[in-house]
Amino acid sequence: MSTKLGCCTVNNVFGIPLKYAVVMVGICSIVIAAIALLASLGTILSIANKELVYNSNPVNAINMIFALFCTSTSSYQAVISTLLLQYGRWKKGSPFILSLWFVSHVVLVVLYSFMFLARSIVCFHCGHPMQSLFTFVGGCFYAGFFIYFCAIINSYQTTIEPDTIYY
């Protein structure tokens, strides 16, 4: 009798075995983190150069908060995803990297969801409904991608033999 739950189990990704899907997740995570880092740094520099007042325009304030948050978390994502890519490609290091990536990204998905929701609410409240809608949809796509990536990593982690995990 099997005690494993099959709720979020993935056997392959578009016909690609899980071993190679881990590499794909690592590469995609690095690319997404790099884009987020560059966008957040650009936003910070743009807002800092304009010397905008945050008290009179809450959208500028939430943009700055979001950019500062995104800068630190995307740097962390890039480092963790690089370690995941190294493990996936060359099997060097501990499989603990899989757990670290999984737990980190579950937490980051929740934090980013709060940030996207906060930005969406502020934009809507300030009379920018389309900006609010795009923020909400972008947040849903972001969360969806990383939830799927977490399902891939978790599925791969359950397929690793116990003697591989505990050497």
Burial track 81-99 (b if 16+ CB lie within 10 A, e otherwise): bebbbebbeeeeeebebbe
Q: pLDDT for 95-120, tens place per residue?
A: 788 888 889 999 999 999 999 999 99
Percent share of the chain, pLDDT over 90: 44
> Which 3 state secondary structure label does DSSP give 13?
strand
Domain map of the chain by residue range? 17-162
**pLDDT at 140 (0 to 100):** 95
123's CB contacts (< 8 A; 6+ apart) are: 59, 62, 129, 131, 132, 135
Per-residue pLDDT reduced to its tens digit, 25-80:
889 999 999 999 999 999 889 888 887 777 778 888 898 999 999 999 999 999 99
- For residue 153, give both structure tokens: 């990593």
Gap between the Cα atoms of 161 and 149, Å rounded: 21
CB 21 within 8 A of CB 9: no
